Structure 1
Amino acid sequence: MIASTAHTQVAAMNLKKGEASGDYGTDHPHADQVLIVLAGEGKAKVDGTSHQLNAGDTLLIQAGEKHQIRGESDELFQTVNFYNPIAYPNEMDV
């Protein structure tokens, strides 16, 4: 977690080629996630639909949507993620 308030969280995600954010089916039942790709290439599976992601792309994952993010390039796949409202209340201290 990079920063967190009572209403919004900001996190960085860095994935090597083949690494995933977790198992498909992850969701945030009460929080939207906005993912902005900073570098590399990746793929997102959101509610069964695949999305190719490249540097400069933005993806909105709505609250409750099942998803998985995966690194797809030799270059590190780097993203910054915004959650609103907060998705991880136990990670409030930054």
Structure 2
Amino acid sequence: MRSKLLRFGKGFRVAFAVRKAQAAEMVIAPGDSEGGPDNRHRGADQWLYVVSGAGVAIVDGRRVVLKTGRLLVIERGERHEIRNTGRAPLRTLNFYYPPAFDADGDPVGPGRKT
């Protein structure tokens, strides 16, 4: 068993990985975004759960409104950007299958960004 208290500080932080899955927390400041039109994970699916805040996800040109409680799956290879459109930080919990980042948050393995 593994356990960790998530603090949802600034930026992107890997919580931990087990076998073929990985958890990470991401906080995006109001008006900021992560990713972009060319951002994709070649070999990993990303499950994004909105813990708090508001925003929009643009996945392969389609827009999805993000708000507390929303679960979004970005499948491997889909180009995506996550934008904070609210007045408070956008806090998300992300799962990658397989793991896409090392402990420092740098892309690795088949799930790395392109």
Same fold (TM over 0.5): yes
Calculate the aligned-residue CA RMSD, in Å: 1.6
The answer to whether residue 62 in structure 2 is matched with residue 49 in structure 1 is: yes
CA deviation vs aligned residue, 1:26-55 (integer Å, no higher than 9, x gap)? 111110000000000010000000110000
TM-score, normalised via structure 1 length: 0.90
- Deviation, structure 1 residue 92: 4.4
In structure 2, list runs of 5 or more residues that go unmatched. Answer: 1-13, 105-114
**Residue 24 (1) aligns with residue 66 (2):** no
8 Å contact from structure 2 (residues 36, 79) kept in 1 = no
Q: CA deviation at 1:77?
A: 0.5
Give the match for residue 51 of structure 2. 38
Cα deviation, residue 3, structure 1: 0.8
What 5-or-longer segments of structure 1 have no aligned partner?
none
Corresponding residue for residue 7 of structure 1:
20
CA separation in 1, counterparts of 2:58 and 2:65? 9
**How high is the TM-score relative to the length of structure 2?**
0.75
* Native 8 Å contact 1:5 1:92 kept in 2: no
- 1:63-82 aligned at under 5 Å gives the runs 63-82=76-95
Q: Which amino acid aligns with 2:70?
A: D
| Superposition deviation, residue 24 in structure 1 | 2.1
Q: Which runs of 4+ in 1 moved over 2 A?
A: none
Work out the percentage of aligned pairs sharing the same amino acid.
Answer: 36
Post-superposition shift, 1:65? 0.2
Between 22-31 and 79-88, report the one with greater CA deviation. 22-31
Higher relative contact order (CA 8 A, sep 6+): 1
